[in-house]
Amino acid sequence: MALLKDKIAIITGAARGIGEAVATKLAENGAHVAFTYVSDSSKEKAIALENKLTALGVKAKGYQSNAADFAAAEIFVNDVLKEFGTIDICVNNAGISIDNLLLRLTPEQWIEVIQTNLTSVYNITKNVIRPMMKAKSGSIINMSSVIGIGGNAGQSSYAASKAGIIGFTKSIALELGSRNIRCNAIAPGFIETDMTNYLTENKAGEEYLKKIPLNRFGKAEDIANATLYLASDLSSYVTGQVLSVCGGLNT
Ligand code: NAI
Protein backbone atom coordinates (compact mmCIF):
# COMPACT_ATOMS: atom_id res chain seq x y z
CA MET A 1 0.00 0.00 0.00
CA ALA A 2 1.19 3.53 -0.73
CA LEU A 3 2.86 4.89 2.41
CA LEU A 4 1.49 8.42 1.98
CA LYS A 5 -1.88 7.77 0.35
CA ASP A 6 -3.81 11.07 0.09
CA LYS A 7 -1.46 12.96 2.43
CA ILE A 8 -0.81 16.58 1.44
CA ALA A 9 2.86 17.56 1.19
CA ILE A 10 4.56 20.89 0.57
CA ILE A 11 8.18 21.20 -0.55
CA THR A 12 10.17 24.40 -1.04
CA GLY A 13 12.60 24.78 -3.95
CA ALA A 14 11.52 21.69 -5.87
CA ALA A 15 12.06 22.63 -9.51
CA ARG A 16 15.31 20.66 -9.57
CA GLY A 17 17.81 18.63 -7.55
CA ILE A 18 16.92 17.14 -4.18
CA GLY A 19 13.58 18.97 -4.00
CA GLU A 20 12.47 17.51 -7.32
CA ALA A 21 13.51 14.00 -6.23
CA VAL A 22 11.63 14.43 -2.94
CA ALA A 23 8.49 15.67 -4.72
CA THR A 24 8.61 12.69 -7.05
CA LYS A 25 9.20 10.16 -4.26
CA LEU A 26 6.35 11.49 -2.13
CA ALA A 27 3.99 11.51 -5.13
CA GLU A 28 5.03 7.95 -6.06
CA ASN A 29 3.92 7.01 -2.58
CA GLY A 30 0.50 8.58 -2.94
CA ALA A 31 0.96 12.11 -1.59
CA HIS A 32 -0.56 15.17 -3.27
CA VAL A 33 2.22 17.71 -3.69
CA ALA A 34 2.39 21.51 -3.64
CA PHE A 35 5.86 22.89 -4.24
CA THR A 36 7.62 26.21 -4.69
CA TYR A 37 10.15 27.51 -7.15
CA VAL A 38 11.60 30.98 -7.03
CA SER A 39 12.86 32.28 -10.37
CA ASP A 40 11.14 32.92 -13.70
CA SER A 41 13.74 30.70 -15.32
CA SER A 42 12.47 27.71 -13.26
CA LYS A 43 8.90 28.09 -14.50
CA GLU A 44 9.27 25.57 -17.33
CA LYS A 45 10.83 22.99 -15.02
CA ALA A 46 8.05 23.57 -12.49
CA ILE A 47 5.39 22.93 -15.12
CA ALA A 48 7.21 19.78 -16.26
CA LEU A 49 7.31 18.58 -12.64
CA GLU A 50 3.61 19.32 -12.18
CA ASN A 51 2.89 17.18 -15.24
CA LYS A 52 5.20 14.38 -14.09
CA LEU A 53 3.55 14.23 -10.65
CA THR A 54 0.02 14.45 -12.02
CA ALA A 55 0.80 11.52 -14.31
CA LEU A 56 1.51 9.51 -11.15
CA GLY A 57 -2.16 9.95 -10.24
CA VAL A 58 -1.87 12.62 -7.55
CA LYS A 59 -2.75 16.30 -7.43
CA ALA A 60 0.28 18.56 -7.93
CA LYS A 61 0.82 22.30 -8.19
CA GLY A 62 3.89 24.55 -8.39
CA TYR A 63 3.82 28.01 -6.80
CA GLN A 64 6.29 30.78 -7.61
CA SER A 65 7.18 31.92 -4.11
CA ASN A 66 10.29 33.11 -2.29
CA ALA A 67 10.62 31.10 0.92
CA ALA A 68 12.98 33.73 2.33
CA ASP A 69 10.15 36.29 2.41
CA PHE A 70 7.73 35.87 5.33
CA ALA A 71 4.74 37.48 3.61
CA ALA A 72 5.27 35.31 0.51
CA ALA A 73 5.53 32.17 2.67
CA GLU A 74 2.26 33.06 4.40
CA ILE A 75 0.50 33.57 1.06
CA PHE A 76 1.91 30.27 -0.25
CA VAL A 77 0.71 28.27 2.76
CA ASN A 78 -2.74 29.92 2.65
CA ASP A 79 -3.05 29.25 -1.09
CA VAL A 80 -2.17 25.59 -0.53
CA LEU A 81 -4.74 25.31 2.25
CA LYS A 82 -7.40 26.77 -0.06
CA GLU A 83 -6.48 24.45 -2.91
CA PHE A 84 -5.57 21.21 -1.04
CA GLY A 85 -7.52 21.55 2.24
CA THR A 86 -4.74 20.82 4.74
CA ILE A 87 -0.98 20.16 5.02
CA ASP A 88 0.32 16.91 6.54
CA ILE A 89 3.97 17.00 5.46
CA CYS A 90 6.29 19.99 5.12
CA VAL A 91 9.74 19.64 3.56
CA ASN A 92 11.89 22.76 3.96
CA ASN A 93 14.37 22.12 1.18
CA ALA A 94 15.15 25.51 -0.44
CA GLY A 95 18.77 26.48 -0.03
CA ILE A 96 21.77 28.20 -1.56
CA SER A 97 25.48 28.42 -0.87
CA ILE A 98 27.73 31.40 -1.46
CA ASP A 99 31.22 30.16 -0.69
CA ASN A 100 33.82 32.63 0.52
CA LEU A 101 36.51 32.71 3.19
CA LEU A 102 35.44 34.88 6.12
CA LEU A 103 38.05 37.48 5.18
CA ARG A 104 36.17 38.10 1.95
CA LEU A 105 32.62 37.27 3.01
CA THR A 106 30.46 40.41 2.72
CA PRO A 107 27.53 41.27 5.02
CA GLU A 108 25.21 41.02 2.01
CA GLN A 109 26.42 37.48 1.21
CA TRP A 110 26.03 36.45 4.86
CA ILE A 111 22.47 37.78 5.02
CA GLU A 112 21.42 36.20 1.74
CA VAL A 113 22.51 32.73 2.84
CA ILE A 114 21.02 33.00 6.33
CA GLN A 115 17.70 34.33 4.99
CA THR A 116 17.38 31.78 2.22
CA ASN A 117 18.48 28.74 4.22
CA LEU A 118 17.45 29.45 7.80
CA THR A 119 14.86 32.24 7.91
CA SER A 120 12.93 30.42 5.17
CA VAL A 121 12.55 27.44 7.52
CA TYR A 122 11.08 29.72 10.18
CA ASN A 123 8.84 31.43 7.60
CA ILE A 124 7.28 28.24 6.27
CA THR A 125 7.18 26.28 9.54
CA LYS A 126 5.57 29.15 11.45
CA ASN A 127 2.71 29.18 8.94
CA VAL A 128 2.37 25.44 8.52
CA ILE A 129 1.95 24.49 12.16
CA ARG A 130 -1.53 26.06 12.30
CA PRO A 131 -3.23 23.42 10.12
CA MET A 132 -1.06 20.71 11.68
CA MET A 133 -2.13 21.70 15.20
CA LYS A 134 -5.74 21.65 14.06
CA ALA A 135 -5.26 18.16 12.61
CA LYS A 136 -3.22 17.05 15.65
CA SER A 137 -0.70 15.52 13.29
CA GLY A 138 2.13 16.49 10.98
CA SER A 139 5.68 15.81 9.90
CA ILE A 140 8.16 18.61 9.25
CA ILE A 141 11.46 17.74 7.59
CA ASN A 142 14.24 20.31 7.33
CA MET A 143 17.18 19.97 4.93
CA SER A 144 20.32 20.62 6.96
CA SER A 145 23.77 19.40 5.88
CA VAL A 146 26.80 17.52 7.19
CA ILE A 147 28.49 20.93 6.86
CA GLY A 148 26.11 22.19 9.58
CA ILE A 149 27.51 19.50 11.88
CA GLY A 150 31.21 19.61 11.04
CA GLY A 151 31.76 23.01 9.41
CA ASN A 152 33.77 23.64 6.25
CA ALA A 153 36.41 26.23 5.37
CA GLY A 154 34.92 28.77 2.99
CA GLN A 155 31.36 27.91 4.00
CA SER A 156 30.89 29.67 7.35
CA SER A 157 27.56 31.24 6.39
CA TYR A 158 26.25 28.00 4.90
CA ALA A 159 27.44 25.99 7.94
CA ALA A 160 25.87 28.52 10.34
CA SER A 161 22.55 28.38 8.49
CA LYS A 162 22.52 24.57 8.46
CA ALA A 163 23.56 24.33 12.14
CA GLY A 164 20.79 26.83 12.91
CA ILE A 165 18.32 24.52 11.21
CA ILE A 166 19.34 21.72 13.60
CA GLY A 167 18.71 23.88 16.69
CA PHE A 168 15.39 25.03 15.25
CA THR A 169 14.37 21.45 14.44
CA LYS A 170 15.11 20.16 17.95
CA SER A 171 13.23 23.09 19.54
CA ILE A 172 10.13 22.64 17.38
CA ALA A 173 10.14 18.90 18.16
CA LEU A 174 10.04 19.82 21.86
CA GLU A 175 7.35 22.47 21.41
CA LEU A 176 5.00 20.41 19.28
CA GLY A 177 5.57 16.77 20.22
CA SER A 178 2.53 16.81 22.49
CA ARG A 179 0.42 17.86 19.46
CA ASN A 180 1.67 14.82 17.52
CA ILE A 181 3.70 17.04 15.19
CA ARG A 182 7.14 15.62 14.48
CA CYS A 183 10.09 17.69 13.30
CA ASN A 184 13.33 16.15 12.04
CA ALA A 185 16.31 17.21 9.95
CA ILE A 186 18.25 15.43 7.26
CA ALA A 187 21.97 16.09 6.93
CA PRO A 188 22.93 15.15 3.36
CA GLY A 189 26.58 14.57 2.56
CA PHE A 190 27.80 15.32 -0.96
CA ILE A 191 24.87 14.77 -3.28
CA GLU A 192 25.19 15.08 -7.04
CA THR A 193 23.06 18.10 -7.99
CA ASP A 194 23.55 21.52 -9.60
CA MET A 195 24.72 22.77 -6.19
CA THR A 196 27.69 20.40 -6.16
CA ASN A 197 28.51 19.82 -9.81
CA TYR A 198 31.69 21.87 -9.33
CA LEU A 199 32.86 19.08 -7.01
CA THR A 200 32.26 16.14 -9.27
CA GLU A 201 33.83 17.94 -12.22
CA ASN A 202 37.23 18.79 -10.75
CA LYS A 203 40.12 17.53 -8.60
CA ALA A 204 38.53 18.64 -5.31
CA GLY A 205 35.87 16.03 -5.96
CA GLU A 206 38.43 13.22 -5.94
CA GLU A 207 39.70 14.41 -2.55
CA TYR A 208 36.18 14.45 -1.08
CA LEU A 209 35.50 11.01 -2.52
CA LYS A 210 38.44 9.58 -0.56
CA LYS A 211 36.69 10.62 2.66
CA ILE A 212 33.43 8.83 1.85
CA PRO A 213 33.47 5.22 3.13
CA LEU A 214 30.79 4.14 0.65
CA ASN A 215 33.08 5.53 -2.07
CA ARG A 216 30.51 7.42 -4.10
CA PHE A 217 28.72 10.75 -4.06
CA GLY A 218 25.08 10.53 -3.03
CA LYS A 219 22.15 10.76 -5.38
CA ALA A 220 19.11 12.98 -4.89
CA GLU A 221 17.08 9.79 -4.57
CA ASP A 222 19.12 8.79 -1.48
CA ILE A 223 17.80 11.93 0.21
CA ALA A 224 14.29 11.39 -1.15
CA ASN A 225 14.23 7.90 0.41
CA ALA A 226 15.20 9.32 3.82
CA THR A 227 12.53 12.01 3.43
CA LEU A 228 9.91 9.37 2.66
CA TYR A 229 10.85 7.56 5.88
CA LEU A 230 10.56 10.72 7.98
CA ALA A 231 7.35 11.82 6.25
CA SER A 232 5.58 8.50 6.76
CA ASP A 233 4.32 6.58 9.76
CA LEU A 234 7.41 4.35 9.48
CA SER A 235 9.05 7.03 11.65
CA SER A 236 6.07 7.71 13.94
CA TYR A 237 8.28 7.46 17.07
CA VAL A 238 11.08 9.65 15.66
CA THR A 239 11.27 13.38 16.35
CA GLY A 240 13.96 15.98 17.04
CA GLN A 241 16.57 13.90 15.22
CA VAL A 242 19.17 14.60 12.55
CA LEU A 243 19.47 11.80 10.02
CA SER A 244 22.82 11.95 8.23
CA VAL A 245 22.62 10.56 4.71
CA CYS A 246 26.23 10.90 3.70
CA GLY A 247 27.79 7.56 2.78
CA GLY A 248 29.51 7.48 6.18
CA LEU A 249 31.37 10.77 5.65
CA ASN A 250 32.53 12.30 8.90
CA THR A 251 33.13 16.01 8.48
P1 NAI B 1 19.84 23.03 -5.90
O2 NAI B 1 20.58 24.30 -6.01
O3 NAI B 1 19.82 22.10 -7.06
O4 NAI B 1 18.32 23.28 -5.46
C5 NAI B 1 17.96 24.25 -4.52
C6 NAI B 1 16.59 24.73 -4.89
O7 NAI B 1 16.17 25.73 -3.96
C8 NAI B 1 16.58 25.38 -6.28
O9 NAI B 1 15.50 24.86 -7.03
C10 NAI B 1 16.36 26.86 -5.97
O11 NAI B 1 15.66 27.54 -6.97
C12 NAI B 1 15.57 26.77 -4.69
N13 NAI B 1 15.62 28.01 -3.94
C14 NAI B 1 16.70 28.77 -3.67
N15 NAI B 1 16.35 29.87 -2.98
C16 NAI B 1 15.00 29.78 -2.80
C17 NAI B 1 14.04 30.59 -2.17
N18 NAI B 1 14.38 31.74 -1.58
N19 NAI B 1 12.73 30.20 -2.16
C20 NAI B 1 12.38 29.05 -2.77
N21 NAI B 1 13.24 28.25 -3.40
C22 NAI B 1 14.53 28.60 -3.42
O23 NAI B 1 20.43 22.31 -4.63
P24 NAI B 1 20.18 20.87 -4.00
O25 NAI B 1 21.49 20.20 -3.99
O26 NAI B 1 19.02 20.20 -4.62
O27 NAI B 1 19.86 21.29 -2.49
C28 NAI B 1 18.60 21.13 -1.86
C29 NAI B 1 18.81 21.33 -0.36
O30 NAI B 1 19.68 20.32 0.14
C31 NAI B 1 19.45 22.68 -0.01
O32 NAI B 1 18.89 23.17 1.19
C33 NAI B 1 20.90 22.30 0.22
O34 NAI B 1 21.56 23.19 1.08
C35 NAI B 1 20.75 20.92 0.84
N36 NAI B 1 21.96 20.12 0.74
C37 NAI B 1 22.48 19.76 -0.47
C38 NAI B 1 23.64 19.01 -0.53
C39 NAI B 1 24.25 18.58 -1.82
O40 NAI B 1 25.33 17.98 -1.76
N41 NAI B 1 23.66 18.80 -2.97
C42 NAI B 1 24.35 18.62 0.68
C43 NAI B 1 23.73 19.05 1.90
C44 NAI B 1 22.57 19.77 1.91
Of the pLDDT bands very low, low, confident and very high (cuts 50, 70, 90), residue 199 is confident
Q: On the CB side of 39, how many CA atoms lie within 13 Å of its CA?
A: 4
Q: 19 CB under 6 A from ligand 1?
A: yes
Q: Which DSSP letter does residue 41 get? A: G
Overall number of domains in the chain: 1
The residue whose CB lies within 8 Å of the most ligand 1 atoms, and thus the one to mutate among 193, 194, 209, is: 193
Judge whether 234 lies within some domain: yes
Task: Please report, for the domain that includes residue 78, its CATH number.
Answer: 3.40.50.720
Judge whether 250 lies within some domain: no
User: Which atom of ligand 1 is nearest to 39's Cα?
Assistant: 11
For the question of whether the overall pTM of this predicted structure is more than 0.95, the answer is yes
228-241 tens-digit pLDDT? 999 999 999 999 99
Judge whether 3 lies within some domain: no
Judge whether 1 lies within some domain: no
What's residue 53's pLDDT?
A: 98
Judge whether 249 lies within some domain: no
- Please give the sequence-ordered ranges of beta strands (E in DSSP) within the chain, or none if there are none: 8-11, 32-37, 60-64, 89-92, 138-143, 181-188, 242-245
User: Which atom of ligand 1 is nearest to 20's Cα?
Assistant: 26
11-43 tens-digit pLDDT? 999 999 999 999 999 999 999 999 999 999 999
DSSP string, 174-198: HHHGGGTEEEEEEEE-SB-SGGGHH
Q: Domain of 136?
A: 8-244
Judge whether 14 lies within some domain: yes
